[in-house]
Chains A and B, each alone.
Chain A
Amino acid sequence: MGVKLLLEHAHIEGIRFYDAYRKNGGYRSVEKALKMTPEEIVEEVKKSGLRGRGGAGFPTGMKWGFLAKPEGVPRHLVCNADESEPGTFKDRYLMEFLPHLLIEGLIVSSFALGSHHTYIYIRGEYVWVAEILEQAIAEAKLNGWLGKNILGTGFDCEIYVHRGAGAYICGEETALIESLEGKRGNPRIKPPFPAIQGVWMRPTVVNNVETLAAVVPIINMGGAEYAKIGIGKSTGTKLLSACGNINKPGIYEIDMTISVEEFIYSDEYCGGIPKGKKLKACIPGGSSVPILPANLLLKTAKGETRIMSYEGLADGGFTTGSMMGSGGFEVFDEDQCVVRHTMTLARFYNHESCGQCSPCREGTGWMYKILKNIEYGKGKISDIDLLWDIQRKIEGNTICPLGDAAAWPVAAAIRHFRDEFEWHVLNPAESQERNYGLAHYADPIHVPVAI
Chain B
Amino acid sequence: MTRPKLRKKIILLSITVIIEIVALIFFWNALKKTDVTNGQASPALGTSGGLPNLLGDLNLILPISFLVILLGIACAFYVEEWLSATNWVRRFIESQVAFLTGIPSLLYGLLAVAVFFGYAGVFKATLQNAEGSALAGTPFQRNTALFYTETLIFILTVMPVAIKTTQTALRSVETPIRESAYALGATQWQVLTKQVVPRAFPRMLAGGCRAMARAFAAAALLVGIYAWSHTMELRGFPDRFMLFLGGALLLSNASSFLTEIYVPASTQHN
- Binding partners A and B: no
Interface residues of A (CB under 8 A from B): none
